[in-house]
Structure 1
Amino acid sequence: MRLLEVNEDDSHSLREHPPEDVPPYAILSHTWRADDQETASDGLKHFWIAARSFKKRSTLCLIVNVVFPILILAGCRDSTSSAFSLFNPYRRMIEMFVGDDCASLATEIIPDEYRISLTSSCRVFGDEVTCRSHFPPALDWVRLLEADIAASADNETIAICTAPFATVVGHFPATNAMAATIFALLISSTVMSVVVVVTSLISGKAFGRPVMLVTGFDVVLLVVCIVLYVIIAQYLIGPYTHTDIAAVTSERVDDLAILGIGFWLLIAALVARVIGNPMVIWSLITLPFNQCNGGDAGPTGGFAEDWRSLAARVDYTNQKK
């Protein structure tokens, strides 16, 4: 058999081998035309380019997963980090709830905007931003307004401005507990991102089963954070947007303006985690179908084993026989 031998220095020669001494060889697909010559190596070249590109995207997603939760946790520490707040109740929304009488009496008290994060909050008056830390975690703008009015207003203003709050059923212990849960989960998510890197280095596989399990757990944490945020928003924003002023003037609260950049960072962190390891989502999608069809997808077989390596696929096939 005649085979083309290609050396490391790109030199090549045609050599003939007897049938009993044929070395391992590859058959390359080819097309011979006057204006077009293509081999399988061309396809491999594009594959490795795509692989390097995917590795860069995965690295970028990993950075996002570490940085974004930290930005959310550190939000509202000062005027710069106040840009990463989770809630931004603005002046007109507050005035629509407390009423025109309170708005006229508390003109110097009600800020242009509150910027609220888990453990800090800021008050914005024009270009001046003042921030203050608080612990345990909370996302309660009503308590901030009540504290500002109580500290800066006379008794008449306090009575007029705090009266509307008595008409709304309070859920502050529950929402504060959910805010504390988000705080803990974001810290855990940041740790998970570091664990993913360490696990990848130890296992030597960027998409091995250990990495996939850690990443899947992190995805669950981020989803829970988003769900808790939506529930908190329903309690802390929803009841205060249906007011008499809104009914009379047909003026509506801008829901998107209330959502802080921190919320969108939370969404972006989840998307980056999914893009960084799409195998997790695919396995989560296929797992219920495999179970319903009588398959054994899971920690000991099925998809998680099948895609991992050639040896794993051979072992899995032998187990089936």
Structure 2
Amino acid sequence: MGTTGQDNNDNEGKGGKDEFKRSASHFADRITADGRDGWPVAADRYRLVVSRACPWANRALISRRLLGLEEAISLAVTDPIQDERSWRFTLDPGGVDPVLDIAFLSEAYDAREQGYPGGVSVPAIVDVPSGKLVTNDFQRITLDFATEWTALHRDGAPDLYPEAHREEIDDVAESIYRDVNNGVYKAGFAVHQETYDTTVERLFARLDQVSERLSNRRYLVGDTITEADIRFFTTLVRFDTVYHGHFKCNRNKLSEDPVLWAYARDLFQTPGFGDTVDFDHITRHYHQVHTNINPTAIVPIGPDLSSWLTPHHREQLGGRPFGEATAPGPVPAAETVPPAGRA
């Protein structure tokens, strides 16, 4: 989000005259089984850097957990509140990441490309031995977790990007990305009424379409959780907390759409999803960092989050979250987040 995640545009948190535009990831090397980009898959070599506030980083957290890559790739969590140097490790003792020995993620960017002029974004994967950023390609990281890191997957790991369904997953995910994942940002940072109106109309048209799709099927593609569900969930779980009010996506709340609300709760209550979500980080980041939208930086008191744990009844539609695979085990103690409740 640029200076606040993967939103690589100069307007976020600063104001500006231009409409929101997301830049392509500048560092798009891939970590692969054959190491063709110079970065081979290896246990204990790489560190995943995330902000729990960021939906794009949340994707990587979910995928890593579902596939059981916690022991293979370590995790660094940034402070949800940034300063002028962007993502910082002030949650760690002494304000320094204990593995990378840096205070700011930008130091890993500088180690890779001195004088890099773009935004410092998460998720990011850093090569621990060299301290260099490997990739900030948020669209590719989770796909490679699913397809290139298979030798290090846990026993019973699900196939999140099954080859037989990849074309459909890609099509569904692309439309959701364009109109929903990215759409909420285009609405929130719109500086012209016409842009806002058009964006919000497309956002809710897509949500209505997906709601209809999910009215008689448990998951977006096939009868198990796939990459498409992960990508949709990370926007839905933030919708009522920040996008509805803060980003003015307020035709209706997620909780007012019976299908999408039940679908989101179903995923939230599935191991690997809700246990990666930190509503406190989400709420404070959006309201305290985006000062062009919320100049007072006041953090709202709601909404009440306890309803995320209420019955969803989606199991009546059939399907199994992981198919023949199994659910991930308990969250590592060092990576636990507060349970759903008041933000």
The two structures have a TM-score, normalised by structure 2, of 0.29
Pick the structure with more helix per residue. Answer: 1
Larger Rg: 1
Q: Which has the higher contact order (CA 8 A, sep 6+)?
A: 2
Pick the structure with more strand per residue. Answer: 1
